[in-house]
Structure 1
Amino acid sequence: MTVTDHTTLAERVIAADSRHVAHNYSPLPVVAAAAEGAWITDVDGRRYLDCLAAYSAVNFGHRHPRIIAAAHAQLEAVTLVSRAFHSDRLAPFCQALAELCGKDMVLPMNTGAEAVESGIKVARKWGTDIKGVPAGAGNIVVAHNNFHGRTTTIISFSDDDTARRGFGPYTPGFRAVPFGDVDALAAAVDDHTVAVLLEPIQGEAGIIVPPDDYLPRVRRICTERGVLLIADEIQSGLARTGRTFACDHWGVVPDVYLLGKALGGGVVPVSAVVADRDVLGVLHPGEHGSTFGGNPLAAAVGITVIDLLRTGDFQSRAAELGSHLHMRLQGLRGRGVHAVRGKGLWAGVDVDPALGTGKQISAALAERGVLVKDTHGSTLRFAPPLVISVDEIDWAMERFVEVLVISTS
Structure 2
Amino acid sequence: MSDIPQERRVRTAIPGPKSVELQARRTAAVAAGVGSTLPVFTARAGGGIIEDVDGNRLIDFGSGIAVTSVGASAEAVVRRASAQLADFTHTCFMVTPYEGYVEVCERLAELTPGDHAKKSALFNSGAEAVENAVKIARAYTKRTAVVVFDHGYHGRTNLTMALTAKNMPYKQGFGPFAPEVYRVPVAYGYRWPTGPENAGAEASAQAIDEITKQIGAQNVAAIIIEPVLGEGGFIEPAKGFLPEIARFAKDNGIVFVADEIQSGFCRTGQWFACEDEGIVPDLITTAKGIAGGLPLSAVTGRAEIMDAAHSGGLGGTYGGNPVACAGALGAIETMIELDLNGRARRIEEVMKGRLGEMRAKLPNGGVIGDIRGRGAMIAIELVKSGTKEPDAAATAALAKACHAEGLLVLTCGTYGNVLRFLPPLVIGEDLLNEGLDILEQAFATL
Residue aligning to 1:389: 428
After superposition, give the CA deviation of every residue in 1:306-348 in whole Å (9 maximum; x if it has no partner). 2334457000110122111111112222254222110111112
If the length of structure 2 is used for normalisation, what is the TM-score? 0.85
Alpha-carbon contact 1:141-1:185 (below 8 Å) kept:
no
Aligned twin of 1:305: 331
The aligned residue for residue 218 of structure 1 is 245
Q: Out of 265, 273, 277, which is 2:299 matched to?
A: 273
Q: Can you give the 5+ residue segments of structure 2 that lack an aligned partner in the other structure?
A: 1-15, 188-202, 360-364, 385-390
Residue 296, structure 1, aligned to residue 333, structure 2? no
Please say if residues 256 and 274 of structure 1, whose CA atoms lie closer than 8 Å, have aligned partners that are also in contact.
yes
CA distance in 2, matches of 1:332, 1:385: 22
| Counterpart residue number, 1:161 | 167
Q: Is the 8 A contact 1:100 1:306 kept in 2?
A: no
2:345 is the alignment partner of 1:319: yes
My pick for the range that moved more, 180-189 or 67-76, is 180-189
How is 1:12-27 mapped onto 2 (pairs within 5 angstroms)?
A: 12-24=21-33, 25-27=35-37
2:146 corresponds to = 140
1:197 aligns with 2:224: yes
Q: Structure 2 matches for 1:9-408, cutoff 5 A?
A: 9-24=18-33, 25-82=35-92, 83-101=94-112, 102=114, 103-128=117-142, 133=143, 138-162=144-168, 163-180=170-187, 181-187=203-209, 188-189=211-212, 190-266=217-293, 268-310=294-336, 313-333=339-359, 334-352=365-383, 356-375=393-412, 376-407=415-446
Name the CA distance, whole Å, in 2 between partners of 1:260 and 1:34.
22
Question: Does the 8 Å CA contact 2:296/2:321 hold for their aligned counterparts?
Answer: no
Question: How many Å separate the matches in 2 of 1:253 and 1:344?
Answer: 20
Given residue 120 of structure 1, which amino acid in structure 2 is its aligned partner?
A: V
Secondary structure of the residue aligned to 1:360 is helix
Preserved CA contact (<8 Å) 2:261 2:285: yes
When structure 1 is superposed on structure 2, of 165-174 and 18-27 the one drifting more is: 18-27
Return 5+ residue gaps in structure 1 as ranges.
1-6
Structure 1 residue 358: Cα displacement? 2.5
For residues 241 and 99 of structure 1, do their structure 2 counterparts lie closer, same or farther at Cα, with a shift above 3 Å needed? same
State the 1:159 CA deviation: 2.7
Q: Is the 8 A contact 1:109 1:294 kept in 2?
A: yes
The residue that corresponds to 1:4 in the other structure is none
Give the aligned CA root-mean-square deviation in angstroms. 1.6
Q: Partners of 2:438 and 2:165 in 1: how far apart?
A: 33
* Residue 123 of structure 1, CA deviation: 0.9
Whole-angstrom CA distance in 1 between matches of 2:276 and 2:338: 15
Contact residue 69 and residue 423 of structure 2 kept, 8 A: yes
Give the letter for the 2:180 counterpart: G
After TM superposition, give the deviation of residue 117 of structure 1 in Å: 0.7
Go from structure 1 to structure 2 and tell me whether the alpha carbon gap of 1:41 and 1:114 turns closer, same or farther (over 3 Å shift).
same
1:284 deviation in Å?
A: 2.1
The answer (yes or no) to whether the contact 2:284–2:300 under 8 Å persists in 1 is yes
Give the whole-Å Cα distance in 1 for the aligned partners of 2:180 and 2:56: 49
User: Following the alignment from structure 2 to structure 1, what is the Cα–Cα distance between the partners of residues 393 and 403?
Assistant: 15
Instruction: Say if 1:350 and 1:141 are closer, same or farther in 2 by CA, change over 3 A.
Output: same
Q: How many residues align?
A: 392
Answer whether contact 1:365 1:399 (CA < 8 A) is retained: yes
- The answer to whether the 8 Å contact 1:337/1:350 transfers is yes
SS of corresponding position for 1:156: helix
Alpha-carbon offset, residue 14 of structure 1: 1.2
Q: CA deviation at 1:351?
A: 2.9
How big is each residue's C-alpha offset from its partner over 1:343-376, in whole Å with a ceiling of 9 and x where there is no partner? Answer: 1111121234569343332121011110011123
Task: Name the % identity.
Answer: 31
Contact 1:36 1:61 in 2 (8 A): yes
Give 1:299 shift. Answer: 1.4
Query: Please, which moves more after superposition, 187-196 or 39-48?
Result: 187-196
- CA contact 1:67–1:305 (8 Å) conserved in 2: yes
1:332 is paired with a residue of what secondary structure?
A: helix
**1:118 offset after TM fit, Å?**
0.6
